[in-house]
A and B are shown apart, each in its own frame.
Chain A
Amino acid sequence: MTGFLIKRLLQAIFVVIAITLIVSSAIRLTGDPAMMMFQGGGSMTEDDLARIRAALGTDKPFIVQYLAFLKGLVTLDFGRSFVGGTQVSTLIGNALPATLLLAFISMAVSIVLSIPLGIKAATARGKGADQLIRILSLVGLSFPNFWLAIMLVLLFSITLGWLPPSGMSGMASYVMPAVTMGVILTATNVRLVRSSMLETLQSQYIMVARAKGLSENKVLYKHALRNCAIPLITYFGLQFGGLLGGIVVIERVFNWPGMGTLAFDAVASRDYPVLQAVITVLSLMIVGINLLVDIAYGFVDPRIRTE
C-alpha cells in the first residue's frame, strides 16, 4: 500500500510540474508585460522598458524565473501581481473561496435536480416522461452556458427585477450563477443517473424488494439509489474538478470575483505571477481530487492496489 501511495503521489507532483511548466512558458511566448504598462502612455525608450523589466524580474532567463516560481510554491509565496503589485496570495485568498462556494452550490443544485429526474426517467423508460427528460437534457447539453446566463439575466434582473444581474453580494446573487452551472451539469448527470438506475433496477434484489411488498419509493430511494450511489459519487467528485475550469466563463458573465475572473484579467494583462498561481492552485485541486479517488479505490479494491 505504501508503495502504491508513493507512486501515485510522485505522479501527481509530475503532473503539477508539467502543467505549470507548459503554462509559464506558453504565456511568455506572446506580449511583454513591461510594454503593456505603457499603453496610452506615450513614447517609451528601450531604457524605460529595461527598467520595468528589471523591476518585474522578466529580464532574467526563463529557467531562472521558473525556478523562482517553484521555490515560491514550496514556501507558499507566489510573489506580487504585475498589475499594482498586490501579493498574489492575497488575490488567491479572496478569489478561491468565492469560486469554491459557487462550485459547491452548483453541484448541490445539480444533484438535487438530477437524482429525482434520472430516477423518474429510468422508471418511466420509453414513456413520455423519459422522452421529455431526455430531450430536455439534450437541449441543456447543446446550448452554451453563457447564453443561458444572459437569458436568465434578461428575465430575472431586467424584466422582473428579482435578482441582481452580477456581483457577489448576499444570497440572491448566488442564484443565477449557481443555477446556470447547475443546469448545465444536470444535463449530463441526469443521463448518468438514468443509466446506472436502469442497470440497478434489473438486479434480483430489487425484484426481491418488490416481492416483499415494499412501496415503490422505498424500493427506489432506499435500495436502488444506495446501490448505484458509488459510481455516481465517484463521477460527481471528478466532475467537481472539471467544474472549476468551466466556471471561468460564468464568472466573467456574472462578474464573480473568483479564480476565473482572476485568470481572465491575468491573461489580458500578461500578469505572469497571478496566472501561474491560479493555474497551479486549480491543477493542484484537480490532481488532489483524482489522487483521493485513486487512494479510496485502492483501499476498497485490492486489485487496483497491487496492479
Chain B
Amino acid sequence: MKTIERGLRAGVMALALSGAVFSAAPALAAGKMTISSPQDPGSWDPIDTFLVAWAAVSTNIFDGLTYRGPDMKLVPALAESWEELDEGKRIRFKLRQNVSFHNGEPFNAAAVKYTFDRLLGEEGSKGPQRSNYIAIESVEVIDDYTVDIKLSTPDPVLLTKLAGYGAMIVPPKYIEEHGEDHFNLNPVGTGAFKFVSYEPKVGIKLEANSEYWGGAPKLSELDFRFIAEPATAVAELQAGRVDLVIPPIIPIGMIPVIEGDDNLEIVSVPGPTVDSLRFNTRDGITADPKVRKAIIMAVDRKTIVESILAGQGAEIATFQSALSFGYDPDLAPLPFDPEGAKTLLQEAGVKEGAQLQIDIRGNDATMNEVAQIVSSYLSMVGLTATIKPYETNVLLNDIIPQGKTGAMFQQKWGGWTFDYDNTAYSMYHSGEKWNPYEKDEKLDKLLESQRPLTDRAEREKILREIGAYVADRALELPLYNSNAIYGVSKRVKGFVAAPDNRLKLTDVTVE
C-alpha cells in the first residue's frame, strides 16, 4: 500500500514537474501584459511632465543613477556606488560599466553630465522638473565612469530624487541627432524595456530589452492603454483584455466587483496619498485653535476609514503617510471625543448652530461621502456644515491659493519623494501657493532649518517636531492615508504592488 502511494506521489510529482517545464518554457520566450493607465502624459521626455502616469510607464524605459523599488529602499542603479564629499556639497558617483542605451549608444559620465545640463538648462526651464534639482550647481566628469555632482547647498533628498522623474539618464547623441520633438514621442533609455510605438490618447507599447544590465525581463511585451473612466477600466479587466489596472482609478465602491470575480484580485499597499480637511486659520470661527481642536475631536476618523474607505487606508495624525520620512509613530491623533469637543466649543464661545463650509473636490467620490459624514459628526456637536464641491482645478489653482475657501477645505497630497519636507513646506511655509492663511515665524524657521541638513537623524528630529507643532496648532483635520489600489488578473504572477505606482515589471510573468 505504502509503495503504491509512494509510486503515485512520484508519478504526480513527475507530471507536475514536466508540466512546470512545459509551461515555463513559453513564459520565458513570450508573454504580453496589458496594463490600463489612467492618463496619457503626452510626452515621454523625463523633464516634460510630473505625472504619476508617466512614471508608471517610464520606470521601465529609463534608469536613474539610483533606484527605489516597491520596498522604498534606495539602491544603486546606473551608479554602482557613491560617496559624499565636501560636507555634502559634492557627491561622487562610480558608474556602472558596459551599459548601453536602447539605440546602442554607450552609457557613460558624459551622458550623466548631458542629462543634468539639459535638465537645468534652457530645455529644462520649460518644464516642471527643474525646480526639484535646483540644488545641483554643476556636474563634472572625472573620468569615463566617474562623475561628481556639485551642489550649491546640501540636499538630503537628492539621492531619492535621482531615482525618479527628471533625473532619468537620457542618451545625448540620440537627442542631438533626432531633436527634442522626436525624443518626446520616441523615448530611448537604458531600461528593462525598449520603446516600440506610441499612439496619443490610445497607448504605448514596449518590448523586452534582452541586454538589460539588471537581467532580461521575463515578459516579452508590455502594452499600456490609457483608460480614464473607472468603469471602463474595470470592464476591460473583467473582460480579460487588461491584466492590470494601476491606481489611481479603481474607486472603493468597485472593489467588491473585482473581489467577486474568480479571475481577478485586488492588491493594495499604503500609498503616498493623504487627505485632510485644512482650516481657514485666518478668519471666522476656525481662526481659534480651540475650535479647530473641537472639530477634530468631533469627527470619528477611525470609523470613516473602516466604513467609507472599506479599510483601504489608515488614520493619520499629521499630513503624511507612515512611509514618509519624518513620520512619527508615537504621535497619536487627537481622540474622538464629542463631549470634549462640545466643552471646547463652549469655552471658545461658539454658539449652537454656528455655520461653516467644507470645500471639496467634486469628482472625488470618496471625499463626497466622507464630507457628508464629517458634516453629520459636526452637527452632533452643534455645528452646521455645508459642503461645497468644486472642480478640482478650480479648487486647487484658484480657491485655495487666493484664500477664498470656506472654514475647511480638502487638500489631497502625494509627494513622490516620501519626505515630509515636500508636503510640510508647501502646506505651512508662509508665502507658499497652497498656504493662503498661515504666517507663523516659528514654523517658517523650523521648515527652513531642516532643508540643508544632511544628517538624517537630525533632520528627522526636526521634521517630527514640525509634525507635532502643526498637530498642536491644529492647522488641519488629518483624515487618512489611502492605499494604492491595483486590480490584477490572476494570470499575472510575481506582481509586487508599488506604493508610488512606479512599477518595474522585470520579474512579472503571465500564464
- The CA of A262 and the CA of B202, in the complex, are separated in Å by 11
Residues of B within 8 A of A (CB): 39-43, 48-50, 52, 125-132, 181, 184-185, 199-202, 225-229, 231-232, 235-236, 238-241, 391, 393-394, 396-398, 401, 413-417, 422, 425-426, 429, 432-433
- The list of the 4 closest CB pairs from A to B, nearest first, reads A84-B42, A84-B43, A55-B126, A31-B393
Residues of A within 8 A of B (CB): 30-32, 35-45, 48, 51-52, 55, 81, 83-86, 90-91, 94-95, 150, 153-154, 157-158, 161, 164-168, 252-255, 257, 261-262, 264-265, 268, 270
State the Cβ distance, B153 to closest chain A Cβ, in Å.
15
Collect the chain B residues with CB atoms within 8 Å of residue A32's CB.
Answer: 397
Contact B433 A86 (CB under 8 A): no
Contact A39 B50 (CB under 8 A): yes
Collect the chain B residues with CB atoms within 8 Å of residue A158's CB.
Answer: 235, 238-239
Task: Decide: A40 near B229, CB < 8 A? Known: A85-B42, A268-B393.
Answer: no
Contact A257 B201 (CB under 8 A): yes
State the Cβ distance, B4 to closest chain A Cβ, in Å.
44
Q: Which of B126, B229, B414 contacts A252 (CB 8 A)?
A: B229
- The CA of A38 and the CA of B432, in the complex, are separated in Å by 13
State the Cβ distance, A79 to closest chain B Cβ, in Å.
13
Collect the chain B residues with CB atoms within 8 Å of residue A52's CB.
Answer: 126-128
State the Cβ distance, B237 to closest chain A Cβ, in Å.
9
- The CA of A30 and the CA of B425, in the complex, are separated in Å by 25
- The CA of A237 and the CA of B242, in the complex, are separated in Å by 38
Contact B397 A166 (CB under 8 A): no
Contact B415 A40 (CB under 8 A): yes
State the Cβ distance, B167 to closest chain A Cβ, in Å.
13
State the Cβ distance, B65 to closest chain A Cβ, in Å.
20
Collect the chain A residues with CB atoms within 8 Å of residue B43's CB.
Answer: 83-86
Q: Which of B42, B181, B397 contacts A36 (CB 8 A)?
A: B397
Task: Decide: A167 near B433, CB < 8 A? Known: A42-B417, A86-B185, A265-B40.
Answer: no
- The CA of A252 and the CA of B231, in the complex, are separated in Å by 10
Contact A40 B41 (CB under 8 A): no
Contact A86 B200 (CB under 8 A): yes
A-B contact pairs, 21 of them (CB 8 A): A30-B398, A35-B433, A40-B414, A40-B416, A41-B128, A41-B129, A42-B131, A43-B429, A43-B432, A48-B131, A55-B125, A85-B184, A90-B200, A158-B235, A158-B239, A165-B232, A165-B238, A168-B202, A255-B225, A257-B200, A264-B228
State the Cβ distance, A48 to closest chain B Cβ, in Å.
5
Collect the chain B residues with CB atoms within 8 Å of residue A154's CB.
Answer: 235
Please name the residue on chain B nearest to A42 by beta carbon.
B422
- The CA of A154 and the CA of B231, in the complex, are separated in Å by 10
Please name the residue on chain B nearest to A162 by beta carbon.
B239
Collect the chain A residues with CB atoms within 8 Å of residue B225's CB.
Answer: 167, 255
Task: Decide: A95 near B201, CB < 8 A? Known: A43-B425, A86-B43, A254-B232.
Answer: yes
Collect the chain B residues with CB atoms within 8 Å of residue A84's CB.
Answer: 40-43, 48-49, 184
Collect the chain A residues with CB atoms within 8 Å of residue B127's CB.
Answer: 37, 52, 55
Contact B393 A270 (CB under 8 A): yes
Q: Which of B125, B231, B433 contacts A44 (CB 8 A)?
A: B433
